[in-house]
Amino acid sequence: MYLDVVHLRAFYDLPLGRLLRGLIGTPIRKMWPDLTGQSLLGVGYAGPFMRPYLDQVERAICAMPAPQGAVHWPRERHASACALVEDAALPFPDVFFDRIMLVHVLDHSSDPEAVLREAWRVLAPGGRLIAVVPNRRGLWAHSELSPFGYGRPYSGGQLKELFKNCQFNILDDKEALFMPPTKARFILRAARTWEGIGRRIWPAFGGVLIVEAEKVVYQSLPVNGKKSRFRVPRPVFIPEGVATGLKPVRRVHGASPRRPCAGVD
Protein backbone atom coordinates (compact mmCIF):
# COMPACT_ATOMS: atom_id res chain seq x y z
CA MET A 1 0.00 0.00 0.00
CA TYR A 2 1.32 3.42 -0.98
CA LEU A 3 2.06 6.18 1.49
CA ASP A 4 0.35 9.52 0.98
CA VAL A 5 2.36 11.91 -1.17
CA VAL A 6 1.91 14.71 1.38
CA HIS A 7 3.67 12.59 4.02
CA LEU A 8 6.47 11.72 1.60
CA ARG A 9 7.09 15.34 0.70
CA ALA A 10 6.98 16.38 4.36
CA PHE A 11 9.54 13.70 5.27
CA TYR A 12 12.07 14.79 2.64
CA ASP A 13 11.72 18.37 3.85
CA LEU A 14 12.81 17.35 7.37
CA PRO A 15 16.50 17.32 8.38
CA LEU A 16 16.44 13.50 8.47
CA GLY A 17 14.84 13.36 5.04
CA ARG A 18 17.39 15.75 3.55
CA LEU A 19 20.16 13.64 5.05
CA LEU A 20 18.76 10.42 3.57
CA ARG A 21 18.32 12.13 0.24
CA GLY A 22 22.04 12.91 0.20
CA LEU A 23 23.18 9.50 1.43
CA ILE A 24 21.09 7.65 -1.15
CA GLY A 25 21.72 10.16 -3.91
CA THR A 26 25.52 9.78 -3.71
CA PRO A 27 25.68 6.20 -5.09
CA ILE A 28 22.96 7.06 -7.62
CA ARG A 29 25.08 9.90 -9.02
CA LYS A 30 28.09 7.56 -9.17
CA MET A 31 26.07 5.15 -11.29
CA TRP A 32 24.71 7.95 -13.47
CA PRO A 33 27.26 10.78 -13.42
CA ASP A 34 25.90 12.52 -16.52
CA LEU A 35 22.52 12.30 -18.31
CA THR A 36 23.01 15.16 -20.74
CA GLY A 37 20.51 15.04 -23.60
CA GLN A 38 18.66 11.98 -22.32
CA SER A 39 15.05 11.52 -21.22
CA LEU A 40 14.38 10.58 -17.60
CA LEU A 41 11.26 9.12 -15.96
CA GLY A 42 10.73 8.75 -12.23
CA VAL A 43 8.03 6.41 -10.94
CA GLY A 44 6.80 6.51 -7.35
CA TYR A 45 8.28 9.39 -5.38
CA ALA A 46 11.59 9.82 -7.20
CA GLY A 47 11.56 13.62 -7.41
CA PRO A 48 14.17 14.24 -4.65
CA PHE A 49 16.67 12.01 -6.48
CA MET A 50 15.89 13.33 -9.98
CA ARG A 51 16.57 16.94 -9.01
CA PRO A 52 20.37 16.88 -9.73
CA TYR A 53 19.63 15.98 -13.36
CA LEU A 54 17.03 18.66 -14.14
CA ASP A 55 19.51 20.92 -15.95
CA GLN A 56 21.06 18.03 -17.90
CA VAL A 57 18.26 15.93 -19.31
CA GLU A 58 16.22 16.71 -22.39
CA ARG A 59 13.01 15.60 -20.68
CA ALA A 60 12.18 14.73 -17.05
CA ILE A 61 8.78 13.46 -15.90
CA CYS A 62 7.85 12.36 -12.39
CA ALA A 63 5.03 9.78 -12.57
CA MET A 64 3.23 9.41 -9.24
CA PRO A 65 0.87 6.44 -8.71
CA ALA A 66 -2.81 7.24 -8.16
CA PRO A 67 -3.04 5.51 -4.72
CA GLN A 68 -0.17 7.73 -3.56
CA GLY A 69 -1.39 10.99 -5.03
CA ALA A 70 0.54 13.69 -6.85
CA VAL A 71 1.97 17.12 -6.08
CA HIS A 72 3.49 19.84 -8.21
CA TRP A 73 7.05 18.94 -9.23
CA PRO A 74 9.57 20.49 -9.33
CA ARG A 75 8.41 23.07 -6.82
CA GLU A 76 10.87 25.75 -7.90
CA ARG A 77 9.56 25.80 -11.48
CA HIS A 78 6.28 27.20 -12.69
CA ALA A 79 5.56 24.38 -15.17
CA SER A 80 4.83 21.05 -13.51
CA ALA A 81 6.45 17.88 -14.86
CA CYS A 82 4.35 15.56 -12.69
CA ALA A 83 1.79 13.04 -13.92
CA LEU A 84 -0.78 11.03 -11.96
CA VAL A 85 -0.60 7.48 -13.32
CA GLU A 86 -1.51 3.87 -12.76
CA ASP A 87 1.76 2.16 -11.87
CA ALA A 88 1.01 -0.87 -14.10
CA ALA A 89 -0.34 1.16 -17.05
CA LEU A 90 1.92 4.12 -17.74
CA PRO A 91 0.46 6.69 -20.20
CA PHE A 92 3.58 6.82 -22.35
CA PRO A 93 4.39 5.25 -25.73
CA ASP A 94 6.82 2.37 -26.14
CA VAL A 95 10.60 3.02 -25.96
CA PHE A 96 10.01 6.63 -24.90
CA PHE A 97 12.64 7.07 -22.15
CA ASP A 98 16.39 6.49 -21.90
CA ARG A 99 16.51 6.23 -18.09
CA ILE A 100 13.97 5.32 -15.40
CA MET A 101 14.20 5.76 -11.64
CA LEU A 102 11.96 3.73 -9.29
CA VAL A 103 11.73 4.99 -5.70
CA HIS A 104 9.00 4.06 -3.17
CA VAL A 105 7.18 1.99 -5.78
CA LEU A 106 8.43 -1.63 -5.91
CA ASP A 107 8.14 -1.84 -2.13
CA HIS A 108 4.62 -0.36 -2.06
CA SER A 109 2.95 -1.68 -5.23
CA SER A 110 0.64 -4.69 -5.01
CA ASP A 111 2.17 -6.03 -8.25
CA PRO A 112 5.86 -5.06 -8.51
CA GLU A 113 6.38 -7.38 -11.48
CA ALA A 114 3.72 -5.51 -13.47
CA VAL A 115 5.46 -2.23 -12.60
CA LEU A 116 8.77 -3.53 -13.94
CA ARG A 117 7.19 -4.88 -17.12
CA GLU A 118 5.61 -1.51 -17.77
CA ALA A 119 8.96 0.17 -17.15
CA TRP A 120 10.52 -2.28 -19.62
CA ARG A 121 7.91 -1.30 -22.22
CA VAL A 122 8.53 2.46 -22.09
CA LEU A 123 12.31 2.10 -21.80
CA ALA A 124 14.41 2.26 -24.96
CA PRO A 125 16.43 -0.84 -25.95
CA GLY A 126 19.61 -0.81 -23.89
CA GLY A 127 18.10 1.82 -21.60
CA ARG A 128 18.90 1.72 -17.90
CA LEU A 129 16.87 1.71 -14.73
CA ILE A 130 17.69 2.39 -11.08
CA ALA A 131 15.52 1.04 -8.27
CA VAL A 132 15.77 1.96 -4.59
CA VAL A 133 14.12 -0.46 -2.14
CA PRO A 134 14.46 -1.21 1.60
CA ASN A 135 16.93 -3.97 2.47
CA ARG A 136 15.42 -6.90 4.35
CA ARG A 137 18.62 -7.28 6.39
CA GLY A 138 18.92 -3.61 7.25
CA LEU A 139 17.60 -1.77 10.29
CA TRP A 140 15.68 0.87 8.32
CA ALA A 141 13.16 -1.72 7.06
CA HIS A 142 12.14 -2.32 10.69
CA SER A 143 11.85 1.33 11.72
CA GLU A 144 9.00 3.75 11.10
CA LEU A 145 11.24 6.81 11.08
CA SER A 146 11.32 6.83 7.26
CA PRO A 147 9.12 5.66 4.35
CA PHE A 148 11.46 2.67 3.93
CA GLY A 149 9.94 1.12 7.07
CA TYR A 150 6.42 0.89 5.62
CA GLY A 151 6.88 -1.02 2.38
CA ARG A 152 7.88 -4.55 1.41
CA PRO A 153 11.62 -5.09 1.99
CA TYR A 154 13.74 -7.18 -0.37
CA SER A 155 16.86 -9.24 -0.11
CA GLY A 156 19.49 -8.90 -2.81
CA GLY A 157 18.59 -12.29 -4.25
CA GLN A 158 14.87 -11.52 -4.37
CA LEU A 159 15.47 -8.24 -6.15
CA LYS A 160 17.78 -9.79 -8.74
CA GLU A 161 15.31 -12.58 -9.42
CA LEU A 162 12.52 -10.04 -9.90
CA PHE A 163 14.56 -8.10 -12.45
CA LYS A 164 15.60 -11.27 -14.25
CA ASN A 165 11.98 -12.36 -14.64
CA CYS A 166 11.14 -9.00 -16.22
CA GLN A 167 13.95 -9.06 -18.82
CA PHE A 168 16.43 -6.81 -17.06
CA ASN A 169 20.13 -7.47 -16.67
CA ILE A 170 21.70 -6.30 -13.39
CA LEU A 171 24.66 -3.99 -14.04
CA ASP A 172 25.49 -2.74 -10.55
CA ASP A 173 24.16 -2.92 -7.00
CA LYS A 174 24.99 -0.79 -3.98
CA GLU A 175 23.87 -0.39 -0.38
CA ALA A 176 23.27 2.82 1.55
CA LEU A 177 22.06 3.99 4.99
CA PHE A 178 24.49 2.18 7.28
CA MET A 179 23.77 4.53 10.16
CA PRO A 180 21.14 3.32 12.65
CA PRO A 181 17.62 4.74 12.25
CA THR A 182 17.55 7.53 14.82
CA LYS A 183 17.03 11.24 15.22
CA ALA A 184 19.93 11.63 17.65
CA ARG A 185 21.92 14.63 16.53
CA PHE A 186 25.35 13.24 17.34
CA ILE A 187 24.66 10.23 15.08
CA LEU A 188 23.21 12.37 12.31
CA ARG A 189 26.29 14.58 12.38
CA ALA A 190 28.49 11.49 11.92
CA ALA A 191 26.31 10.01 9.16
CA ARG A 192 29.07 10.19 6.52
CA THR A 193 31.44 8.39 8.85
CA TRP A 194 28.85 5.68 9.45
CA GLU A 195 28.49 5.23 5.66
CA GLY A 196 32.22 4.79 5.14
CA ILE A 197 32.62 2.34 8.02
CA GLY A 198 29.52 0.38 7.08
CA ARG A 199 30.58 -0.20 3.49
CA ARG A 200 33.85 -1.72 4.70
CA ILE A 201 32.68 -3.70 7.74
CA TRP A 202 29.03 -4.76 7.16
CA PRO A 203 28.22 -4.05 3.48
CA ALA A 204 25.27 -6.49 3.43
CA PHE A 205 23.38 -4.63 6.17
CA GLY A 206 22.74 -1.28 4.53
CA GLY A 207 19.29 0.19 5.00
CA VAL A 208 18.43 0.31 1.29
CA LEU A 209 19.43 -1.55 -1.86
CA ILE A 210 20.21 0.46 -4.98
CA VAL A 211 20.21 -1.58 -8.18
CA GLU A 212 21.07 -0.49 -11.72
CA ALA A 213 19.68 -2.69 -14.50
CA GLU A 214 19.64 -2.65 -18.28
CA LYS A 215 16.72 -3.50 -20.54
CA VAL A 216 17.37 -6.71 -22.44
CA VAL A 217 15.69 -7.48 -25.76
CA TYR A 218 15.98 -11.17 -26.48
CA GLN A 219 16.17 -12.53 -30.02
CA SER A 220 13.19 -14.71 -30.87
CA LEU A 221 13.95 -18.44 -30.75
CA PRO A 222 12.61 -21.21 -33.02
CA VAL A 223 9.94 -23.56 -31.71
CA ASN A 224 11.31 -26.38 -29.52
CA GLY A 225 14.69 -24.70 -29.55
CA LYS A 226 15.56 -26.13 -32.99
CA LYS A 227 16.85 -24.05 -35.82
CA SER A 228 14.84 -24.28 -38.99
CA ARG A 229 16.76 -25.18 -42.15
CA PHE A 230 15.61 -24.05 -45.53
CA ARG A 231 16.97 -25.65 -48.70
CA VAL A 232 17.58 -23.22 -51.47
CA PRO A 233 17.65 -24.94 -54.90
CA ARG A 234 20.88 -24.45 -56.77
CA PRO A 235 20.36 -23.46 -60.42
CA VAL A 236 21.71 -25.88 -63.06
CA PHE A 237 22.48 -24.41 -66.46
CA ILE A 238 22.00 -26.74 -69.43
CA PRO A 239 23.20 -25.84 -72.95
CA GLU A 240 20.49 -24.90 -75.40
CA GLY A 241 19.23 -27.85 -77.44
CA VAL A 242 20.15 -30.39 -74.81
CA ALA A 243 17.38 -29.64 -72.28
CA THR A 244 14.65 -31.36 -74.35
CA GLY A 245 14.37 -34.18 -76.89
CA LEU A 246 17.30 -36.22 -75.61
CA LYS A 247 17.19 -39.96 -75.35
CA PRO A 248 18.92 -41.80 -72.55
CA VAL A 249 22.41 -43.01 -73.42
CA ARG A 250 23.03 -46.73 -73.02
CA ARG A 251 26.16 -47.76 -71.21
CA VAL A 252 28.27 -50.32 -73.11
CA HIS A 253 30.30 -52.72 -71.05
CA GLY A 254 33.88 -51.53 -70.95
CA ALA A 255 33.15 -48.20 -72.54
CA SER A 256 32.22 -44.88 -71.11
CA PRO A 257 28.91 -43.36 -72.14
CA ARG A 258 28.90 -40.78 -74.87
CA ARG A 259 27.91 -37.40 -73.59
CA PRO A 260 25.91 -35.12 -75.84
CA CYS A 261 27.54 -31.88 -76.82
CA ALA A 262 25.82 -28.59 -77.22
CA GLY A 263 24.82 -27.82 -80.79
CA VAL A 264 25.37 -31.41 -82.05
CA ASP A 265 22.35 -33.37 -83.40
The residue ranges of every structural domain in the chain are 5-215
- Residue 166: DSSP 8-state: T
pLDDT digits (tens, 9 = 90+) for 68-123: 999 999 988 888 999 999 999 999 999 999 999 999 999 999 999 999 999 999 99
Identify the band that residue 239 occupies on the pLDDT scale cut at 50, 70 and 90. Answer: low
Higher confidence at residue 58 or residue 261?
A: 58
CATH code, 5-215: 3.40.50.150
Q: Residue 1's pLDDT is what? A: 83
C-alpha–C-alpha distance, residues 57 and 172, integer Å: 22
Residue 44 has pLDDT above 80, yes or no: yes
Please state at what angle helix 15-31 crosses helix 191-201, rounded to 10 degrees: 50
Q: Residue 25's pLDDT is what? A: 96
Q: In this predicted structure, which of 9-13, 23-27, 101-105, 239-243 has the lowest mean pLDDT?
A: 239-243
pLDDT digits (tens, 9 = 90+) for 204-233: 889 999 999 999 987 554 545 454 444 444
C-alpha–C-alpha distance, residues 248 and 177, integer Å: 90
Residues paired with residue 133 on neighbouring β-strands, in sequence order: 209
Higher confidence at residue 202 or residue 258?
A: 202
Identify the band that residue 199 occupies on the pLDDT scale cut at 50, 70 and 90. Answer: confident
Residue 261 has pLDDT above 50, yes or no: no
Please state at what angle helix 5-13 crosses helix 15-31, rounded to 10 degrees: 90
Identify the band that residue 262 occupies on the pLDDT scale cut at 50, 70 and 90. Answer: very low
Q: Residue 207's pLDDT is what? A: 94
Residue 242 has pLDDT above 90, yes or no: no
C-alpha–C-alpha distance, residues 103 and 67, integer Å: 15
Q: What is the mean pLDDT of the chain?
A: 86
Q: In this predicted structure, which of 38-42, 130-134, 250-254 has the lowest mean pLDDT?
A: 250-254
C-alpha–C-alpha distance, residues 139 and 149, integer Å: 9
